[in-house]
């Protein structure tokens, strides 16, 4: 006869593992779609750049090639971050996801610098008297195809990054949009040069120059946030205040202090001391601690790393 007693701790771990697996599966599906799109686009852009005699489109193809590399990096990061906790990684491997987001941010920053340098070089050459060669229409068609596909891919990826709370996916989404933005510059420059004449070919590098600043800003924000997480930065005053409010609203908690927070991949880590009535026995005090833990997990996810220290409230002197 089977016992009716269940193991709540084991069930909680099973739910946590299942949730992490589903999150990883969704993220991998999104990134695989991005990788497939980038393979097709990169091939078409290189062909259009060579046939259409467009240096801008060849550079755009290189940008798409960097997207492929970051897609692979994000996929590897997600796969490795799903490794379970072990004796040498007590908090799991979630930081690998943060590391992959930082890598994408760094690559995006380098791409922004390359676009800025390339655009500036062409603009200076134009004003120095050099005649820039007008490209063919195939470069314009390739740019339009890139804008439509990469902007759609950005919206698809950014939506899932928010749903899954993934910095790595968010960084990759912005990398997709940076490709669309560089293609806007290529389209304007190539189209302007064809429609208005060769002397307007400077529109291409000018547009790329302006767009590079937006790319650099996004890259810096992504990289800075990732480095902050790797350096154990707190979750911020707003989140900390919300955590304290949740704890203080728990029945039996008289006060809390020494709150420390940080992010580990998609999960959060909380270390806090709670104060309870010193007249309580250890079982009741532990029960209050469990209530705090359950409320925090209900708000921030079952894979949260929580350390709740119970102390007697100093105001209780009747014991």
Does the pLDDT at position 93 exceed 70? no
CATH T-level fold of 237-312: Alpha-Beta Plaits (3.30.70)
Q: Regarding predicted confidence, which is higher, 211 or 288?
A: 288
Q: Cα separations (Å) of 62 from 65, 164, 187, 280? A: 5, 29, 16, 66
Residue 87 CA to residue 84 CA, distance in Å, equals 10
Please tell me the pTM assigned to this model: 0.63
Does the pLDDT at position 64 exceed 50? yes
Domain ranges of the chain: 8-230, 237-312
CATH T-level fold of 8-230: Alpha-lytic protease prodomain-like (1.20.1510)
Place of tokens 């492929």: 68
Reported confidence tier of residue 104, pLDDT bands at 50, 70, 90: confident
Say whether 237-312 and 8-230 share the same fold.
no
Q: Regarding predicted confidence, which is higher, 158 or 96?
A: 158
Count other C-beta atoms under 10 Å from residue 58's C-beta: 17
Give Cα 188 distance to the centre of its chain. 30
Reported confidence tier of residue 2, pLDDT bands at 50, 70, 90: very low
Does the pLDDT at position 16 exceed 90? no
In this predicted structure, what is the pLDDT of residue 309? 93
Does the pLDDT at position 294 exceed 80? yes
């Amino acid at each position: 006869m089977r016992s009716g007693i269940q193991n709540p701790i084991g069930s909680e771990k099973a739910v946590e593992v299942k949730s992490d697996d589903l999150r990883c599966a969704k993220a991998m599906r999104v990134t695989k779609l991005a990788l497939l799109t980038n393979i097709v686009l990169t091939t078409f852009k290189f062909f259009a750049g060579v046939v259409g005699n467009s240096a801008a489109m060849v550079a755009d193809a290189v940008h798409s090639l960097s997207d492929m590399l970051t897609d692979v990096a994000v996929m590897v990061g997600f796969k490795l971050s799903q490794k379970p906790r072990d004796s040498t990684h007590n908090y799991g491997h979630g930081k690998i996801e943060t590391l992959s987001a930082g890598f994408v941010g760094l690559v995006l920053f380098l791409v922004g610098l390359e676009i800025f340098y390339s655009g500036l070089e062409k603009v200076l050459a134009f004003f120095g008297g050099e005649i820039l060669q007008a490209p063919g229409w195939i470069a314009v068609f390739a740019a339009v195809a890139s804008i439509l596909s990469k902007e759609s891919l950005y919206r698809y990826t950014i939506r899932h990054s928010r749903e899954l709370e993934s910095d790595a996916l968010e960084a990759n989404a912005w990398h997709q949009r940076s490709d669309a933005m560089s293609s806007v510059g290529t389209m304007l420059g190539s189209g302007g040069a064809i429609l208005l004449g060769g002397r307007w070919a400077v529109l291409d590098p000018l547009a790329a120059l302006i767009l590079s600043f937006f790319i650099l800003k996004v890259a810096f924000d992504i990289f800075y946030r990732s480095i902050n997480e790797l350096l154990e930065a707190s979750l911020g005053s707003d989140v900390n205040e919300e955590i304290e409010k949740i704890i203080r609203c728990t029945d039996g908690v008289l006060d809390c202090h020494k709150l420390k927070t940080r992010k580990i991949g998609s999960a959060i880590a909380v270390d806090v001391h709670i104060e309870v009535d010193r007249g309580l026995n250890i079982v009741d005090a532990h029960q209050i601690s469990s209530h705090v833990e359950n409320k925090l997990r209900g708000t921030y996810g079952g894979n949260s790393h929580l350390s709740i220290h119970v102390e007697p409230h100093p105001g209780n002197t009747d014991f």
